[in-house]
Amino acid sequence: MRDAFVRVLSDIARNDHNVMLLTGDLGFGVLTGFAREFPRQFLNVGIAEQNMTGMAAGLALEGKIVFTYSIGNFPTMRCLEQIRNDVCYHGANVKIVSIGGGFCYGALGISHHATEDLAVMRALPNIIVIAPGDITETELATRAVYEASGPCYLHLGRGGEPKVHVKRPEFAIGKAITLSSEGDVALLSTGGILSNVVMARDLLSVQNIRASVSSVHSLAPLDAQLIDELSRSAELIVTVEEHSIVGGLGGAVAEVLAELPMPRASLLRIGLQAGFSCEVGDQEYLRQVYGLSPEAIAERVKIAVDRGRPRRPCT
């Protein structure tokens, strides 16, 4: 995802000299080519994310389209006040890019586990929040946030994520991508866990459980229409995220479902529960530990299906 972002942004920068990329002393090697080709469109501000965000807001208010870039929580949590007050309040054309979502930097501990950022950013006014599911979606999302007016947040993986989409899908901010439709279970995924969700669907199919899969890359705005439709066509909606279920995709879907009339589908949220992810290890290991492997996802869904959802009240 990281390399796909840089590649697409480089193509954009060649044609639009108003595009700028600011980094907080990160991305060496990855951003070297961009810095060499566009020296007047690149700034390394050092380990000073608050300053980076303030500079980005100022540049944007002078007509630039500014991308800020750093790892995990650093371009979000560390400078949240600047994002809220300088970027979002003024509607500045700043695109915040976080590399290493979820457990991508799992071996570095909780300081590098980006597992609350989507919830925090989604709570801010006037910002678009995007978490693409694979390389193809990353390419489309990068161009989409460039074309969008105002603040955007792009939550990406580190690199090496498998390509899920066989064909280039239609991509629109606020509209989920349906990979497979029709099923008594609706699997909703956000971010780089998408490949595991697709594998979980295949495991469920062997057990005669039909499941649809949708990549909910856009958390703000959320595709409430899809959730409404699935609440009436499916028996169970399952959200899967490499992120806290509090305020993330699970929380967002729960908010929509809570205001829909009964009868409607029940909800199962798969992701991190309340508390810190205190285990340390690589991404694959931590996905196993926290129940995000394809097998663990399929097992949670099967248990929920076998148990059956609560009886719908009479209307």
Segment 97-113 mean pLDDT: 87
CATH number for 302: 3.40.50.920
Report residue 312's pLDDT band, with 50, 70 and 90 as the boundaries. Answer: very low
Report residue 287's pLDDT band, with 50, 70 and 90 as the boundaries. Answer: very high
144 occurs within a structural domain:
yes
Residues 193 and 131 occupy one common structural domain: no
94 occurs within a structural domain:
yes
Helical (H) or strand (E) element with 167: none
Residues 132 and 17 occupy one common structural domain: yes
Q: Which residue has the higher pLDDT, 307 or 310?
A: 307
124 occurs within a structural domain:
yes
Q: Which residue, of 102, 121, 156, is where some domain finishes? A: 156
Residues 203 and 86 occupy one common structural domain: no
Q: Which amino acid is at 174?
A: G
Residue 23, pLDDT score:
94
Average of per-residue pLDDT values in the chain: 93
Residue 221, pLDDT score:
97
Segment 109-121 mean pLDDT: 90
Residue 162, pLDDT score:
86
170 occurs within a structural domain:
no
CATH number for 74: 3.40.50.970
Residue 313, pLDDT score:
42
Residues 110 and 209 occupy one common structural domain: no
Report residue 206's pLDDT band, with 50, 70 and 90 as the boundaries. Answer: very high
222 occurs within a structural domain:
yes
Report residue 311's pLDDT band, with 50, 70 and 90 as the boundaries. Answer: very low
Q: Which residue, of 121, 156, 191, is where some domain finishes? A: 156
Residues 140 and 240 occupy one common structural domain: no
- Percentage of the chain modeled with pLDDT above 70: 98
163 occurs within a structural domain:
no
- Token representation of residue 299: 């097992």
Residues 111 and 193 occupy one common structural domain: no
Of 259, 239, 258, the closest CA to residue 249 belongs to 239
Helical (H) or strand (E) element with 5: helix 2-15
Residues 67 and 100 occupy one common structural domain: yes
Range in 156-160, 164-168, 265-269 the model is least confident about:
156-160
Segment 174-190 mean pLDDT: 95
Segment 237-259 mean pLDDT: 96
Residues 219 and 267 occupy one common structural domain: yes
What are the pLDDT digits (tens) for 128-164?
Answer: 999 999 999 999 999 999 999 999 999 999 877 889 9
Residues 137 and 182 occupy one common structural domain: no
**Position 203 pLDDT exceeds 70:** yes
What's the residue count for the chain? 315
What are the pLDDT digits (tens) for 296-305?
Answer: 999 999 999 9
Residues 17 and 150 occupy one common structural domain: yes
Report residue 102's pLDDT band, with 50, 70 and 90 as the boundaries. Answer: confident
Residues 139 and 204 occupy one common structural domain: no
Burial level of 274, CB count in 10 A (0-12/13-18/19+)? exposed
Residues 113 and 15 occupy one common structural domain: yes
Number of domains in the chain: 2
24 occurs within a structural domain:
yes
pTM (2 decimals)? 0.93
**Position 314 pLDDT exceeds 50:** no
Domain that residue 138 falls in: 2-156
Burial level of 280, CB count in 10 A (0-12/13-18/19+)? middle
Is the CB of residue 175 less than 8 Å from the CB of residue 227? no
Residue 76, pLDDT score:
94
Is the CB of residue 148 less than 8 Å from the CB of residue 273? no
What are the pLDDT digits (tens) for 22-65?
Answer: 999 887 788 999 999 999 999 999 999 999 999 999 999 999 99
166 occurs within a structural domain:
no
